Copies of this chain bind each other. A is one copy, B any other.
Amino acid sequence: MSARGSSPTIVDVAREAGVSIKTVSRVLNHEPGVHESTREQVLKVVEALRYRPKQSARSLAGGRSFLIGLLYYDPSAIFVGSVQQGATLRCRELGYHLVVESLHNDAPDLRQQIDRMVLALRPDGMILTPPLCDNPEVLAALRESGTPCVLMSPERDIRGVPSVRMDDVHAAEELTSLLIKLGHERIAFIKGPPDQSASAARYQGFVSAMRAHGLEPDLELVQPGDFSFASGRDAAQQLLSGPKPPTAVFASNDDMALGVLAAAHRLGLNVPAELSVVGFDDSPTAALVWPPLTTVRQPVAEMARTAVEMLVQGHRAEVPADDADLHKVLAHELIVRDSTRAR
């Protein structure tokens, strides 16, 4: 009876419950205007038969696929785990499913790959993570196909295109204030790559917190970086072997902070006794190194949940949301571990 291909259909349920298939459909889709006793009777049969409507049939007839797409390009795979955790959970609660596609941001046939997915599957919405959410080609392909999108942490918001993000400026301010409260004044900063807006935002937060505490950032202690381990290590090497080394280093992301740790180690500097280090992102590695990194956790899973909700609700919305509701900012979390200490 549970063999492949012989599962019950809506007709079976209708017959068993003594109603029409339309009424079964109404109950399953939570449509109003069904007598309570009828609803209960139908639900009972649905349960007994373990009936589940088939996505392909619903999709073909109703024009909704109950599929949410997730497009990503994440070689380091730091982001994608949490994104999916949040997205699949929320999808499940809402009766949707998540289809993922790993793309190369600079693939020559990117357009066709997206078309293939969109035209074949007709997902009801698409979640885009960096750097794909900032790729004009990707955005154009999706817009032309009429697929609703939500951008996760895009470089900058686009008018009319929903997005969800955290507040990098504010988080950087908090991290900086933490160091200042620990007594640090000579705080070095290692920047991210200039083509990513998070880099500027984090730097801005650093500067503003310094000034709020009456400190002027020493430009000699501000080094460029590119979010890689190596760039963090090299910047720290430079910083720490200078004449007036900093007592704390703010690296714009965890990978660079790990580089700082490596450089300090090589120079025989004890962290956190002689040098405090903070990162940004709360990467899986951040908790595993010695000492564990003080950092900021992006609410990645929550952002993904929110993205799913926006997509599903957007479908139902009569009136398009105004631009303020379109761009959501979620709360981050300061993670204080052992790489920071009072001086």
A contacts, CB < 8 Å to B = 2-5, 7, 50, 52-57, 59-60, 63, 65-67, 74, 76-78, 80-82, 84-85, 88-89, 92, 97-102, 113, 115-117, 119-122, 144-147, 229, 255, 258, 261-262, 265-266, 284-285, 287-290
Q: Is the CB of A98 within 8 A of B100?
A: yes
Q: Is the CB of A56 within 8 A of B52?
A: no
A113-B92, A144-B2, A255-B288 as given contacts; A122 in contact with B56, CB under 8 Å: yes
The complex places the Cα of A266 from the Cα of B145 at a distance, in Å, of 57
Q: Is the CB of A84 within 8 A of B100?
A: yes
A56-B55, A80-B80, A92-B113 as given contacts; A120 in contact with B145, CB under 8 Å: no
A5-B63, A60-B56 as given contacts; A258 in contact with B80, CB under 8 Å: no
Q: Is the CB of B100 within 8 A of A88?
A: yes
What residue of chain B has the Cβ atom nearest to residue A148's Cβ?
Answer: B4
Additional pairs, 5, CB under 8 Å, beyond known A67-B99, A76-B81, A98-B101 = A5-B146, A7-B119, A53-B120, A76-B284, A80-B80
What residue of chain B has the Cβ atom nearest to residue A101's Cβ?
Answer: B88
Taking CB atoms, residues of chain B closer than 8 Å to A119 are 7, 50, 52, 54
Taking CB atoms, residues of chain B closer than 8 Å to A261 are 290
Q: Is the CB of B120 within 8 A of A284?
A: no
Taking CB atoms, residues of chain B closer than 8 Å to A84 are 80, 100, 102
Query: Which of A77, A80, A146 gathers most chain B CB within 10 Å?
Result: A77
Query: Which of A115, A146, A147, A255 gathers most chain B CB within 10 Å?
Result: A146
Some 16 contacts from A to B, beta carbons below 8 A apart, are A55-B121, A55-B122, A57-B60, A77-B77, A77-B80, A81-B81, A84-B100, A88-B102, A98-B99, A98-B100, A98-B101, A229-B288, A258-B289, A265-B265, A285-B285, A289-B289
